[in-house]
């Protein structure tokens, strides 16, 4: 995300300094802040892009906070019942802890999985078992299925909000790009007459309509 924002800033700076072409200037503004170029060009539809951006940023912060909440709670929960600092465990171990009541049970099932993956190659089976066996120093035991289920739900909550965050960030990037491209087309006199842009912001939500006349 940081790299994307840095690229956007550099592009805007380059356009603003080296371009005397108004469509490029407006496009660069909308690339940096969606809708800015439209507003500079006197088109109120730009506020719709800005409203979408603000809403998406608030959502992204909320999703990030929620994912951290579930992540920290799952670590604290595991630390209490494992009687050690679960944050020192790898992500792979933390994931396995969601699925198995104990590391011993996980290790017991390794030969079956090895035979499923390499049914005709005993050497690869042996190598798979050796590579994936969890040592006692990294082992765990959940006292009952209820605690295992609680831990699983905390980890699942973390993944859900991380996925929402990814989608929201993608939406933010798309909003920048769509705003910039449509702003350039609108500002370019050669293309302006072929583009219809309308936007609205009210208590029911935010809307942006973009169409092309043929």
Q: Is 124 part of a structural domain of the chain?
A: no
Q: What is the mean pLDDT of the chain?
A: 82
The model's pTM: 0.73
Q: Is 205 in a helix, a strand, or coil?
A: strand
Q: Is 111 part of a structural domain of the chain?
A: no
How many residues does this entry show for the chain? 214
Question: pLDDT at residue 108 above 90?
Answer: yes
Q: What is the mean pLDDT of residues 165-189?
A: 86
More confident of the two residues 69 and 198:
69
Q: Is 108 part of a structural domain of the chain?
A: no
111-123 pLDDT tens trace:
999 999 999 899 9
Q: Is 127 part of a structural domain of the chain?
A: no
Q: Is 68 part of a structural domain of the chain?
A: yes
Residues 6+ positions from 50 with CB-CB distance below 8 Å: 33, 34, 35, 36, 39
Beta strands in the chain (DSSP E): 195-202, 205-212
Q: Is 117 part of a structural domain of the chain?
A: no
Q: Is 42 part of a structural domain of the chain?
A: yes
| Whole-angstrom distance, CA of residue 210 vs CA of residue 184 | 13
Question: pLDDT at residue 192 above 60?
Answer: no
pLDDT above 90 covers a percentage of the chain that reads 52
Q: What is the mean pLDDT of residues 181-192?
A: 69
**pLDDT score for 212:** 44
Burial 164-200 (b: 16+ CB within 10 A, else e): bbeebbebbeebbebbbebbbbbbbeeeeeebebebe
- What's the Rg (C-alpha) of the chain? 26
Under DSSP, the state recorded for 207 is: E
Residue 202 phi, psi (nearest 5)? -150, -175
143-147, 184-188, 209-213: least confident range:
209-213
Q: Residue 180 sits in which domain range?
A: 2-102+140-212
Q: What is the mean pLDDT of residues 187-211?
A: 51
Residues 6+ positions from 198 with CB-CB distance below 8 Å: 45, 208, 209
Q: What is the mean pLDDT of residues 118-144?
A: 92
Q: Is 48 part of a structural domain of the chain?
A: yes
Beta-strand pair 205-212/195-202? antiparallel
| Whole-angstrom distance, CA of residue 90 vs CA of residue 72 | 14
In the chain, the number of structural domains is 1
26-80 pLDDT tens trace:
887 888 888 888 888 788 888 888 999 999 999 999 999 999 999 999 999 999 9
| Whole-angstrom distance, CA of residue 19 vs CA of residue 25 | 7
């Amino acid at each position: 995300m940081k790299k994307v924002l840095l690229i956007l800033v550099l592009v805007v700076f380059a356009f603003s300094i080296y371009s005397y072409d108004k469509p490029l200037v407006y496009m660069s503004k909308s690339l940096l802040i969606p809708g800015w170029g439209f507003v500079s060009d006197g088109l109120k539809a730009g506020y719709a892009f800005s409203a979408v951006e603000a809403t998406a940023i608030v959502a992204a912060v909320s999703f990030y906070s929620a994912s951290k909440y579930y992540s920290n709670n799952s670590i604290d929960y595991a630390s209490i019942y494992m009687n050690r600092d679960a944050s020192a465990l790898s992500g792979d171990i933390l994931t396995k802890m969601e699925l198995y009541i104990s590391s011993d049970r996980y290790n017991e099932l390794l030969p079956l999985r090895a035979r499923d993956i390499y049914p005709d190659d005993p050497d690869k089976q042996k190598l798979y078992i050796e590579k994936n066996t969890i040592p006692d120093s990294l082992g765990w035991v959940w006292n009952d299925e209820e605690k295992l289920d609680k831990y699983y739900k905390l980890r699942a909550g973390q993944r859900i909000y991380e996925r929402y965050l990814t989608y929201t960030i993608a939406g933010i990037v798309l909003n920048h790009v769509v705003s910039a491209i449509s702003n350039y087309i609108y500002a370019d006199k050669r293309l302006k007459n072929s583009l219809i842009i309308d936007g609205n912001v009210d208590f029911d939500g935010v809307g942006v309509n973009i169409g092309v006349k043929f």
